Structure 1
Amino acid sequence: MRIRASLAAATVSGAVALTALLAPAAQAADSPNIPQAFTSKPSVGRNAPADETQGDIQITKVTDNANRDVVVGITKKTFNIYVTATDPSGIATADAVLWHGNDLASGDIDGLLYTDNAATCDKWSATSATCKITITATADTDLYSSALNGKWNVAVYAEANNGDHVEKDIYKNRWVKRAASFSGFNAAPEPVAKGQTISVTGTLKLASWSYLKYYGYSNQSVELQFKPSNGSTYSTVKTIKSSSTGYLKTTVTASVPGTWRFHYAGNGIASVADAYDYVDVR
């Protein structure tokens, strides 16, 4: 249940199906800056169309990355997909990929996240099992361009002991985002006298998968929040916008000791980010 192919263009050509995930690996020398895709060599002996079901097998649940955004910085991110399926004969295996593009069945895709390893399946009964697929997404290779950030599709496959199988090219969607972070965050001076001015500064940055660096993220709304030392929740004090370089600066009046936080809520391409600094007020 392994797949491997290299591709010298951003769009995959040729008819492919998720059933190909069960084919042996085809060893190839992958260029680090091109997308990867899978070949169509189905183990069941035919090219299966998209969203095919043979027999009474059913996929009952899919949980990918704990149903959270897949956030990748400038290195790699490993996450799990759990596929639960049922069939009267029992479940033999399952697999899953995340893909980006127009159509998986025709090969019109420009991004693919998959595993080279077989799923590990826990059988809950004679008829049902949950299979874990572990995928690693690597910046600059799997995610060869920052343009791949955004909404991806989760394709899943399951096969029963008697050969029944089910394939869904778009079982659900998953957002794959670039990591956002703050650098140089500081609330000063500290300690500070009550009534004096506190200056809060920092820079919001966003990972580039293309260049493997973090760059200043401009024109983004960031909340300055505060939690008193005897409190348990943060309250928003004000909202400011990052400059053309991602820089942020604002001032507040010191009243009680507590923790100041820059909170960035993220968007369709960037993750949530937070930075903290405790200030003692005397």
Structure 2
Amino acid sequence: MRKRAISAVLGAAVALGGSTAVAYGDETVGDVQIATAAVSGGKDIAIGLAGKTVTVSVTATDPSGIWDADFHLWRGTDPDNPDGYLKPNDDSRAVRDASTTVRLQRLSKLTVNASPEPIAAGKPLTVTGRLTRANWDTDTYYTAQPVKLQFRKAGTSTYNTSQTVNTSSTGDLKAAATASVDGYWRWNFAGTSTTPAVKATGDYVDVQ
């Protein structure tokens, strides 16, 4: 029996980091039945300024068996006029029309620094940081969003929010707190539809 090759469209339709459309379907190509196809297992894809590797999968059957499958990924609302391509590791072609969705997001980063360290009990503490997200158009990171300042007492596992601070136009964060006991300070960003949630690694402060 002659085994058949199959192909499927997996399109990432996005307007500057919004929802993406991933095409798949149950269309028949000859005797080939393509049941499903997906990018990144249907999970959100956060893309920064460097290259990004994503997984593509397809489920298909044919009485003669299947020996090959091709995929074509694009960014934009129209596969014939894409905003950009997500390039696979091999040559791919598009042949599928049905669609579902997966979200393409701008990678976010968050830093924190609490000072001075060590510090005397009852003294004012300054907590700074920066929230950034990838800008695919200018190859820079930026954002301006509300971020929670949180504290976890040493020896415990739960962070509690002390206040919410809005970032500057460059993503900078700054807040004043009072040092009372040893513990960890961090910033916590809830995320948006275009930017994934991110938490800074806690900065330990020794209170003497």
TM-score bracket, normalised by the shorter chain, equals 0.7 to 0.9
- 2:61 counterpart of 1:86: yes
Alignment of 1:96-175 (within 5 A): 96-104=71-79, 107-117=80-90, 168-175=96-103
> 1:256 and 1:203, CA in 2 relative to 1: closer, same or farther beyond 3 A?
same
- 2:83 aligned counterpart, secondary structure: strand
> 1:97 and 1:192, CA in 2 relative to 1: closer, same or farther beyond 3 A?
farther
Q: What is the match of residue 271 of structure 1?
A: 196
For structure 1, the residue ranges without an aligned partner over 5 or more in a row are 1-17, 22-49, 120-155, 158-166
CA contact (8 A) 1:96 1:114 kept: no
Match of 1:197 among 124, 129, 132: 124
- 2:46 counterpart of 1:71: yes
CA contact (8 A) 1:223 1:240 kept: yes
CA contact (8 A) 2:7 2:69 kept: no
Deviation at 1:281, TM superposition (A): 2.3
> 1:92 and 1:182, CA in 2 relative to 1: closer, same or farther beyond 3 A?
same
Deviation at 1:222, TM superposition (A): 0.6
Deviation at 1:262, TM superposition (A): 0.8
Quick one: distance in 2 between partners of 1:93 and 1:56?
A: 12
Aligned residue pairs, count: 186
Q: Deviations for 1:211-230, whole angstroms, at most 9, x for unmatched residues?
A: 22223x22x01111222222
- 1:248 aligned counterpart, secondary structure: strand
> 1:56 and 1:209, CA in 2 relative to 1: closer, same or farther beyond 3 A?
closer
CA contact (8 A) 1:207 1:213 kept: yes
Deviation at 1:179, TM superposition (A): 1.9
> 1:241 and 1:51, CA in 2 relative to 1: closer, same or farther beyond 3 A?
same
Match of 2:157 among 232, 240, 248: 232
- TM-score after normalising by structure 1: 0.56
Q: What is the match of residue 115 of structure 2?
A: 188
Quick one: distance in 2 between partners of 1:173 and 1:97?
A: 15
The letter of the residue matching 1:169 is: D
Quick one: distance in 2 between partners of 1:255 and 1:186?
A: 17
For structure 2, the residue ranges without an aligned partner over 5 or more in a row are 1-5, 10-24
Q: What is the match of residue 17 of structure 2?
A: none
- 2:176 counterpart of 1:248: no
> 1:20 and 1:267, CA in 2 relative to 1: closer, same or farther beyond 3 A?
closer
- TM-score after normalising by structure 2: 0.73
The letter of the residue matching 1:279 is: V
The letter of the residue matching 2:52 is: K
The letter of the residue matching 2:100 is: K
CA contact (8 A) 1:205 1:246 kept: yes
State the identity %. 40
CA contact (8 A) 1:51 1:168 kept: no
